[in-house]
Chain A
Amino acid sequence: MENKINNCSIRVATVNGTGSQSSNSLLFKSLFRMGVGVCAKNMFPSNIQGLPTWFQIRVSQKGFQNLREHDDIAVLMNAETAHADIKTMRPGTTIFYNSSIVTFTPDEIKEGMHMYALPVEELSKQITDTKLRTLLKNLFYVGALSHLYGIEIDVMKSVIQDTFKTKQSAIDANLAALQIGIDYAKENFKKTDDFGFKRSNTNDGKIMMEGNAACGLGAVYGGCTVVAWYPITPSSSLAESAEAYLKKYRIDKDGKTNYAVVQAEDELASIGMVIGAGWAGARSMTSTSGPGISLMQEFLGLAYYTEVPAVIFNVQRTGPSTGLPTRTQQSDVQQCAIASHGDTKHIMLFPAGPKECFEISAEAFNIAERMQTPVFVMTDLDLGMNTWVDDDLVYKKPQFDRGKVLTAADLDKIQGQFGRYLDSDGDGITYRTLPATNHVKGAYFTRGSGHDEYARYTESPEAYTRNMDRLLKKWHTAKQYIPKPIQYGASSAKVGVIAFGTSHSAITEALERLNDKNIKYLRLLSYPLHDEVEKFIQSCDKVYVVEQNRDAQMKSLIEVDLPGYQSKLRSIRYYGGFPLSSDLVERELKKQMEK
């Protein structure tokens, strides 16, 4: 029989904006502090208050950061969705429900279901502060769960204390509400299922962090000085985190800031400011999501063609158009690979968890300045807005790569004219100067129209073609500076999986369950594709490209960039908007491999 200690999936259904988020976070953090392998994902609507929302907690021995497709325990607090929710539950599921507002008919209750009725509204009368009642009553189910499954009360207390810090009245109110749930469960609930939590050490050396915060912090450690952005879900908290960290850690002794954060009037202005700042030599970034990238296209072409460094965080959501703004997808891969009209090719980076968000975000500024071009850090809503359990952030002493920038002293040594777009090193990367370089040769004119090696306006087909060919060469040179893919599994395997970003946990777990199938896995951390990708495909009979979009966008890029392997490539896609589950990957792999 499957071990049910530290191994279950919990779904909590509540109404958006009622304070359930802090109750759920208490559950999640308490499990984390007990050392239990835990993963949490928030399925929320595009709404401030009133629409249904679900919070899922997955507990596993190894702490996998993806969800199963089924739930073992359901906490149904939302009358609006309770009947639909229970319909999706398997026989044998444990159900906690708000019996003050929900009654199930006998035929709704499946075989072996463990039913726990929690009269939330009646119990809430014990909370005298009517204003706080709506918020605090969400703690009843936390109390009941903690009693039945063994979440340590001291741990929960520590979480509440850390949350409210010096606000003693809030701490007391929360603890009292929690106790109401515990007491009710003690008196009325008899445990009939086998689930439970036990102290473990799965989280040694680990942190809980949202990808957006990790990206923001990475930008700070990467030496970013200019942030221009426009609010959009799910990326807003990235810029806001960056600003919060900057406010804390980047104030000069005289109280002045050594950074600038501007909330722009729209995405066009955000990227415009980033390009202006990057052109003038500051490390600059913006963060946005798919619709913002659509708006930035013209400017991205300008930055590509005029060769200006810029870091763009794209926290992808479900498109096209407004799409599902609070759901996740990897569907901007192709849009970012070639953003803008005309022939353009961009660099993309794909972190898979907060630790990589931190490291890759910092590194993105080195890459952008080295390559003098826009660099996309591609995350998604799942990574950006959910709290992930990942390894501690590791400090790396920074050595900023400011790229090929000529100073006045450098210009002194140049014979003849300074050629802004002259490929003197043969790697496609040319030298630039910054405005106000005090030298007669120092200035050049930047234009989005045709230009020659000396930045002069030209419509010459030869000069234009030379420039475009050099830009292509530069894009290939980027492979020396961007992170290489990571290979997992036996190299002798003949079946391969290629994936990137948030698909990682689902794939790792699925392959572990399929370990008899001998499958190896290559995780892409960046684009353009390194030679390792081609070698990986060459070494396989079949390669499944797993991605979270409808149109197999990464597979298409691979097919175009590495022609000749089309017959080996297969596609596994999920694009429903929820985070990718290991169950889906496992099922699809099995199905396709049997063909």
Chain B
Amino acid sequence: MSAPANCNRLGLSKNDYAGKPSTLCKGCGHDSITVAIQQAYYDLGIPPHEITKFSGIGCSSKTPTYFVERGHGFNSVHGRMPSVATGASLANGNLHIIGISGDGDTASIGMGQFCHVVRRNVDMVYVIENNGTYGLTKGQFSATADFGSKGKKGWSNPYPTIDCCALAIELGATFVARSFSGDRKQVIALLKAAQAHKGIAVLDIISPCVTFNNHEGSTKSYTFVKEHDVPLHELGFVPSFEEIQVEMKEGELKDIELHDGSHLTLKKLATDYDPSNAIGALSVIHEAKEKQQIVTGLLYFNKDQKDHNSVLNMTSRALNTLTEVELDPGPEVLKKINSSLK
């Protein structure tokens, strides 16, 4: 029996993936990402109650209230979302975890936790809604603002930028992508692939701040990003439950099979790009920066690394379901321990 019209494979409507109305500024890049997230989960037919949302503090961190209200959400403290998400994934490895962070939340106060959640390869989607500015506190530079980029007050950023994608690759991330909130098709394809990936998937999405960082001289304005966005490939996503049917000339298309059996297809654009080469990825990122280009697409992918719970050799049963029966070592063990302490 096929699903009714306007429903996904679970028979759920888009409304089942909806959240509260956004309270962000009109035209905020984050809102388009929110829409993309809902679309991606809907298309994939992920049960909404299994989607578990985490965030820190900041404009981006408010967004988990705006999508999938039927999933639990946790708006934690500034820069510390990664540890909270890590803990939850230990308690229940079957959750579909998405963490939403911003450039302030990740690249400044949360830099330490970002590095370590990447290093541990926690099974989650980690979205950085990157606008290069502190919106909620009215327009200070963040650590991802480009050197020389102009702030709202006309001042130039005196510090070099931190590139979260390059950093993530360096730290051993297993899925690293960059996108632009204005390119919804690409964002959705990457979100779906990230969801299918077992391990951490870092998505750095340039998401212009219409109120504090959309002026001339800013390298994170809509106009600037549109003009300087260089997609590495055209992305297509084929979920595990659909048959892959693509006809393409030899060498034109790369097919990446993800952990859950779905596929991400990479159609060649100007140059051939190999996302399995970490060093190559770093070169491309750095060369693009010199040319003031923003390369978008799947920058790096590595399927071979174990995710955190597997590294810890954990049972596949959720720890939160275990009871006295499984967890009590019993009286005989205690007796033995007592006698070993004499």
Contacts and interface: CB of A to CB of B under 8 A. Distances in A.
B341 interface: yes
A279 B88 contact: yes
B70 interface: yes
A393 B76 contact: no
A278 B54 CA distance: 14
Given A220-B329, A436-B92, A445-B73, A400 B49 contact: no
B337 A258 contact: no
Contact of A275 (B69, B87, B113): B87
A208 interface: yes
Interface stretch (A47-55, A95-103, A446-454): A446-454
Interface stretch (A80-88, A248-256, A562-570): A248-256
A399 B324 contact: yes
Interface string A400-438: 100000000000000000000000000000000111111
Contact of B74 (A228, A269, A279): A279
B211 interface: no
Contacts of B323: 223, 400
Contacts of B82: 269, 272
Contact of B86 (A225, A276, A299, A436): A276
Interface in A164-200: none
A510 interface: no
Interface string B311-330: 01111110110111011111
A433 B73 CA distance: 12
Given A274-B87, A276-B87, A449-B75, A265 B315 contact: no
Contacts of B125: none
B315 A268 contact: no
B15 to A, nearest CB: 12
Nearest to B74: A446
A393 B322 CA distance: 24
Q: Interface size bucket, B side?
A: 35 or more
Contacts of B213: none
Nearest to A442: B49
Given A207-B338, A273-B86, A264 B75 contact: no
Interface string B292-333: 000000000000000001001111110110111011111101
A400 B324 CA distance: 7
B64 interface: yes
Contact of A207 (B47, B64, B341): B341
A555 interface: no
Contacts of A257: 312-315
A446 B87 contact: no
Given A221-B328, A280-B95, A436-B92, A228 B87 contact: yes
B90 interface: yes
Given A265-B116, A443-B70, A445-B73, A435 B84 contact: no
A225 B331 contact: no
B94 interface: yes
Interface of B: 47, 49-50, 52, 54, 64-65, 69-77, 80, 82-92, 94-95, 112-113, 115-116, 120, 309, 312-317, 319-320, 322-324, 326-331, 333-335, 337-338, 341-342
20 contacts: A33-B342, A207-B338, A223-B327, A258-B314, A261-B312, A262-B120, A265-B112, A268-B83, A275-B76, A276-B88, A277-B90, A282-B87, A299-B77, A436-B92, A436-B94, A445-B64, A445-B65, A446-B75, A447-B75, A457-B65
